[in-house]
Chains A and B, each alone.
Chain A
Amino acid sequence: MKKKPQLRLAYKLGIKIFLLCIPVCFLSLLIYSIYLSNGIESRFSGRRWQIPSKVYSDTTVLYTGQHIPKGFFSEKLKNLNYHEVEDNRQFQKGQIRTSPEAVDIFLYDFNFSFKKRVGFPVRIRLYNNKIQSIVRMDKKIFMPVLELEPEEIMQFFGTKRERRQLVSINKIPKHVLFAILAAEDKSFYSHFGIDPLGIIRATFKNIAHGRLSQGGSTITQQLSKNYFLTHKRTISRKLKEILISLIIEFMYEKDEIFEIYLNEIYLGQKGSESINGILEASFFYFGKSVTSLLLPEAAAIAGLIKAPNYYSPYVNKKRCKKRRDMVIRAMSHNGWVSENLAKKAVNYPVKPAGCTVYERKAPYFIDYLSNQLHKFYSPKDLSSLGLTIYTTLDIQVQRAAQKALKKGLNRLEKENPLFLNNKYKDKLQGAIVVLSPKTGYILAMVGGKNYGTSQFNRITDAKRQPGSAFKPFVYLAGLNKLTPATLLSNRKKTIIVNGKAWSPENFSRKYSDKVTMRVALAKSLNLPTVDLAFKTGLEKIIEKINLFEFSTEFKSFPSLSLGAFEVIPLELARAYCVFAADGVLPYPMPFKNVLDENGKIIKRRYMDIKQVISSAKAFIISSMLKSVITDGTGSLLKKKGVVFPVAGKTGTSNNYKDAWFIGYTPDILALVWIGFDKAYPINATGGTAALPIWADLIKFIPQYISGTWFKIPSKVVKKNICNLSKQVAGKNCPDYFEEFFLDTNFPKKCTVHDKYK
């Protein structure tokens, strides 16, 4: 009896402790929940995803009368995600119909800050590889100019390499939402974060199987799992997951949770990048936005969630269809879709859009671009802020350059089997840059033979001897005192430089008495160039060259005039732009605009120009460089089928270490360099190694060729020149030819034939 009160006391104490435990447990659970909810809130309200920045090419302008290379439309439109259709009834955005004489395109919407275009159908008629007309089909009006949207070149991925585009739940059609609910969580809108029945069912199955395999997770649980926790399957994790799900449900509306889920889910793999979110997936699998997904397509995507790479239509169409039909039946079972519609949908074939094989479109250009962008954005910003970068790159020109270079290098290696020999511990390399000379836009950049094996960008980072390709700048400096008709000595002589004898030679080892400046440049003769350099003065030449903003420091050695100082190819190409752009030095531009994730422009680049020489001098140099093509070292160009006027210069450095060709028209300028990184001789000249590559490149892009020549500036005069005296021809001169001069500097009247007057 005595013990009873003790027992009762203990019992009471036990109850007290237990009663105390409950609030303590609740309190600690509450504190833990608050702690978790803080974490959840900071994750949900802040930047939810790391969106990679996207890099786009420039837009493509089409106009009537434009030359279009063969296969242009099929290639371009495929890359822009357009799909060929045959039936005439339903013509929708993103579709094309091609016939021998016309291409019908139903353009996509295009949103680019101030440029907002709602997609419309156009018919482009073609005749003889030329655009005959562009007609807007819905309004039946002619369009003089049409812009095709830019092409995606690449994305700046973070460490996760996730592809994702965001979409608001309001924009997703009902049947897509229903499909996902049917596949993953039928009672999403009625449960409170967890589905007890589902869990019980799963638990039974797990016990039966003896392992944790069945999920039974609700959408909220999947989200909390994906979002916060690792993928280990343990009981404690499961409990934590349930707790987080409950907190999420408490804190957020159902629609909000669903929207985050739709943008979050992993839906497949494209090469090394993961496809995330419903919008990215609908583009990846069906080539259209989620807003225009059909019921069977929506069901197919919904079916993927369980195991994206197992049910992928790209992996196994049959398996995908089976899973898809299951989803459709579940939808119909829940009354979310009529039986009729479900039957139709089940009969619909699985037709994925065809995924475009991932290729690096312009890797060297992208490297150069990222270097430029890193001045403003850190690599982390680029991989997470979801910026859009519009570049100046023209994909067609880029492809042409890559193709031409590959072909040219293969040809050279075939001609010289030695290059593939083990003796050369280096592969023959080449590089191309294409610029729009007036604006400075970089249209294409190939920094080497193969980005996979060598990422060294020979256009922007290499320093090479330009050889004769440097001569135009020397001749430019000479134009103050001399003229294209001035005679220069072509005799061998030895010059003493700093106590050492220097005896330059002509490449051909042929010598004569005297040649005009035009001939000397056209035939790339060394001796007259040295003569010109001495007549002009090396200091004067350096003064002139420094206007072109090379990063090279030039010193007054006579070999300067023969291009002995190494230059960066991009800087050389830029300097040549001056001749092609009325004496204006452009700033080479890789990008035009950077937009934030809302489409607002946050950085703009405009063409920046600076006059460095007069337009008259630029014209005269261009005119002389045209003779290089018509009668000089570049005469092979005509045989290669380039018949329109071109100005250009070949270059071959000492011992054939570098071969160059730089050619331009008023519309486009391209530089080609060929050589070994370790400077082995390539046994070919600029005219034979680099020029054919230039010719191929330019033939691939007829849309850039207008066939026109430069306008003669007002300060340039044309005179008849006596062939004998190289002075302005008078009445008695028997032979004369035409030559251009600066209006301030031209020869006197002929003193040979008119001296008795």
Chain B
Amino acid sequence: MNNNLKTFKNTFSSNSLIFSVKNWLYHITKILSDKKKIRTVVLILIFLYGISGCATIKPIHEPVEKKPLQDKTEDVGKNQDNINSRAIASLNLTTHGQMLLENGRIDESISIFERSISINPKNGKNYYYLAEAWYKKGNMRLSKEFNRLAGIYMDNNFFWINLVKKQKKKIAEKK
């Protein structure tokens, strides 16, 4: 056991890194000494160059002179930092609300989810749990509305979209 640990540590120590570089150099010189292998290496290099060229080749059509109006979606996501902190704060509240909901404190949970939405309206879980809360309170109209919103915001999450679909079915049955 001890021995194993030592070798493990060695492979990741700085000494072994230099050693592995030496090892690589050794392999490369070995390949270069073989003509057949040189040919394949050169072919691979040409292929790689070709691919990289594709990316920088200018499109045939020059960009339009007079730019027609369009929605520039690139604007989005500049404030990544800000978005994340909001998302985290909102999720924190969601978890708190979820706990209250599971303990049967429905009214309290609803106000927490609402607050969470006002911090981050894109947090789909809030809508899911609000649908759940209103389901428990017997208001199928609101439950359905929130379930739909949950569907909009979680359509890229396989796990959640299944839950949302199940919830939708459940609401439809009760309605």
Chain A contacts to B: CB under 8 angstroms: 61, 63-67, 114, 144-145, 436-439, 441, 516, 518-519, 522, 581-582, 584, 592-593, 601, 604, 606-611, 615, 623-624, 626-627, 630-632, 644-645, 666-667, 706-709, 711-714, 723, 734-740
B34 CB–A CB distance under 8 Å: no
Residue with the highest number of chain A CB atoms closer than 10 Å, among B71, B105, B110, B155: B71
B92 CB–A CB distance under 8 Å: yes
Q: What are 14 of the A-B contact pairs (CB < 8 Å)?
A: A64-B88, A65-B85, A65-B86, A144-B92, A145-B93, A518-B70, A615-B152, A644-B78, A666-B122, A706-B86, A707-B78, A723-B64, A734-B61, A739-B71
Query: At the interface, is chain B mostly helix, strand, loop or mixed?
Result: helix
Q: Is the CB of B85 within 8 A of A61?
A: no
Q: Is the CB of B122 within 8 A of A439?
A: no
Contact residues of B between 80 and 120, Cβ < 8 Å to A: 81-86, 88-89, 92-93, 105, 107-108, 110-111, 114-115, 117-120
Q: Contacts A145-B89, A606-B110: A706 and B120 contacting too (C-beta < 8 A)?
A: yes
Q: Is the CB of A709 within 8 A of B73?
A: yes
Q: Is the CB of B76 within 8 A of A441?
A: no
Q: Which residues of A contact B73 (CB under 8 A)?
A: 709, 712
Q: Which residues of B contact A61 (CB under 8 A)?
A: 89, 115, 118-119
Q: Is the CB of A644 within 8 A of B69?
A: no
Q: Is the CB of A666 within 8 A of B121?
A: yes
Q: Is the CB of A606 within 8 A of B114?
A: yes
Query: How far does the Cβ of B175 sit from chain A's closest Cβ, in whole Å?
Result: 15
Q: Is the CB of B83 within 8 A of A708?
A: yes
Residue of A439, A519, A627 touching B117 (CB-CB under 8 A): A439
Q: Which residue of chain B has its CB nearest to the CB of A519?
A: B69
B142 CB–A CB distance under 8 Å: yes
Residue with the highest number of chain B CB atoms closer than 10 Å, among A441, A711, A723: A711
Query: How far does the Cβ of B101 sit from chain A's closest Cβ, in whole Å?
Result: 13
**Contacts A63-B86, A66-B85, A737-B68 supplied; 7 other A-B pairs, CB < 8 Å:** A63-B88, A64-B89, A114-B105, A606-B114, A723-B68, A736-B64, A740-B71
Query: How far does the Cβ of A690 sit from chain B's closest Cβ, in whole Å?
Result: 22
Q: Is the CB of B68 within 8 A of A144?
A: no
Query: How far does the Cβ of B48 sit from chain A's closest Cβ, in whole Å?
Result: 28
Q: Which residues of A contact B84 (CB under 8 A)?
A: 65
Contact residues of B between 44 and 73, Cβ < 8 Å to A: 61, 64, 67-73
Q: Is the CB of B121 within 8 A of A667?
A: yes
Give Cα distance in the complex from A601 to B108, angstroms.
11
Give Cα distance in the complex from A145 to B91, angstroms.
10
Residue of B72, B118, B146 touching A630 (CB-CB under 8 A): B72
Q: Which residues of A contact B75 (CB under 8 A)?
A: 644-645, 709
Q: Is the CB of B152 within 8 A of A711?
A: yes
Q: Contacts A582-B152, A627-B69: A608 and B142 contacting too (C-beta < 8 A)?
A: yes
Q: Is the CB of A737 within 8 A of B114?
A: no
Q: Contacts A623-B71, A711-B122: A63 and B89 contacting too (C-beta < 8 A)?
A: yes
